[in-house]
Amino acid sequence: MKPLLTFDLDNTLLNSDKAHVIAYQYALKKLGLKILKDREIYIHFGKPKQDVAKALSNSNNKEIIKKITKYHDILLWNKSYKLSRILPGVKDVLKYLKKKYEIAVISNCSHKSIVKLLQGAGLDKNLFDFIIGDNDVKHPKPWPDELFKAKKLARESVLYHIGDSVYDVRAARRARVKCIAVLSGHYKRGELLKEKPFKIITSIKELRKVL
Residues 6+ apart with CB under 8 A from 202: 182, 183
Question: What pLDDT was estimated at residue 41?
Answer: 97
Q: Where in the chain do CATH 1.10.150 domains reside?
A: 17-82
Question: 3-class DSSP state for residue 81?
Answer: helix
Q: Where in the chain do CATH 3.40.50.1000 domains reside?
A: 4-15+86-210
Percent of the chain beyond pLDDT 70?
Answer: 100
At 30, is the pLDDT very low, low, confident or very high (cuts 50, 70, 90)? very high
CATH for the stretch 4-15+86-210:
3.40.50.1000
pLDDT digits (tens, 9 = 90+) for 171-197: 999 999 999 999 999 999 999 999 999
- Alpha carbon separation from 172 to 3, 16, 55 (Å, rounded): 16, 22, 24
Q: Does domain 17-82 have CATH number 1.10.1060?
A: no
Question: What pLDDT was estimated at residue 202?
Answer: 97
